[in-house]
């Protein structure tokens, strides 16, 4: 068999060189004589290393792996060696498929004009526009670092809650009926106002529910309100400690 000469620089990696050896000696990828392929690869790399001392480390690393695989293959009934040989054959089959697909894509791309331009860079100012006092920034940093001292609860924080006026549901029932009867409102949104306290809003909402449940008010799908004649709804009275049996 005539000796084949390969230049390492002509190959992108050790797998391409192994595949070239397989094709040059007309080996079957699904039944590769591993020992013969290893001998051919190590011989090519050794010869190339003498001519080109700066040979790529990937080729030398593959040569070392193949020499180790050969030493295992020489052992009788080495399952590990057989597995390594199957893995090498699988890698070569996969690499051959990728090469064929790349060749097909390359042939299709020939003669096709492709125009590209650099991506547009968005013009925006990434600087933080606000300015803060140094003490404010220091306090924020301490809070983030978990070093902030717990602030005592102040009375003015609870004053809006404690001092809020109490609005009963009964009073809002009468208010809603009077408003609707007088024609001052014909839609659900008109019964609520942002100027009123939260307690009044909640009481109005509960009053509307009681009126709907009693059949005195009907709400249309679009929020329109219609008043029906009847008795006022009977609201449940709050139980005292003596009534609910608690001491």
Burial class (CB in 10 A: 0-12, 13-18, 19+), 1: exposed
pLDDT-derived band at 240, boundaries 50, 70, 90: very low
Highest mean pLDDT among 5-9, 36-40, 159-163: 36-40
User: What is the pLDDT, as a whole number, of residue 232?
Assistant: 59
Q: Is the pLDDT of residue 75 over 80?
A: no
Q: 17 and 7 in contact (C-beta within 8 Å)?
A: no
Angle between helices 79-109 and 34-51 (to 10 degrees): 70
Highest mean pLDDT among 44-48, 162-166, 225-229: 225-229
> What's the token pair of residue 195?
């100027």
Query: What are the backbone angles phi and psi of residue 107, rounded to the nearest 5°?
Result: -70, -35
pLDDT, tens digit (0-9, with 9 covering 90-100), for 137-174: 888 888 887 765 666 767 676 676 666 677 888 888 88
More confident residue, 44 or 148: 44
Give the dihedral sign, CA 148/149/153/154: negative
Q: Is the pLDDT of residue 238 over 60?
A: no
User: What is the pLDDT, as a whole number, of residue 7?
Assistant: 54
User: How many residues appear in the chain?
Assistant: 247
Mean pLDDT of all residues in 199-221: 88
pLDDT-derived band at 244, boundaries 50, 70, 90: very low
For the stretch 72-76, contacts whose Cβ atoms lie closer than 8 Å and that sit 24 or more positions apart, written own/partner, are 73/34, 73/35
Neighbours of 226 (CB within 10 A): 11
Of the listed ranges 9-18, 92-101, 108-117, the least confidently predicted one is 9-18
């Amino acid at each position: 068999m005539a000796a084949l000469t390969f230049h390492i620089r002509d190959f992108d990696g050790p797998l391409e060189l192994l595949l070239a050896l397989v094709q040059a000696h007309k080996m079957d990828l699904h039944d590769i004589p591993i020992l013969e392929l290893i001998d051919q690869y190590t011989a090519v790399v050794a010869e190339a290393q003498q001519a080109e001392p700066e040979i790529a480390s990937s080729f030398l690393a593959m040569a070392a792996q193949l020499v180790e695989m050969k030493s295992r293959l020489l052992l009788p009934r080495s399952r590990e060696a057989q597995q390594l040989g199957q893995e090498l054959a699988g890698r070569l089959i996969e690499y051959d498929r990728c090469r064929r697909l790349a060749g097909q894509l390359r042939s299709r791309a020939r003669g096709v004009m492709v125009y590209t331009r650099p991506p547009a860079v968005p013009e925006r100012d990434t600087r933080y526009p606000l300015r803060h006092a140094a003490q404010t920034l220091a306090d924020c940093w301490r809070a983030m670092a978990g070093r902030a001292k717990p602030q005592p609860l102040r009375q003015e924080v609870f004053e809006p809650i404690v001092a809020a006026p109490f609005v009963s549901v009964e009073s809002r029932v009468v208010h809603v009926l009077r408003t609707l009867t007088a024609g001052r409102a014909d839609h659900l949104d008109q019964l609520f106002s942002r100027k009123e306290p939260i307690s009044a809003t909640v009481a109005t909402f509960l009053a509307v529910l009681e009126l709907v449940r009693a059949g005195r008010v009907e709400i249309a799908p679009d929020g329109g309100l219609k008043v029906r004649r009847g008795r006022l709804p009977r609201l449940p009275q709050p139980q005292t400690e003596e009534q609910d049996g608690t001491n």
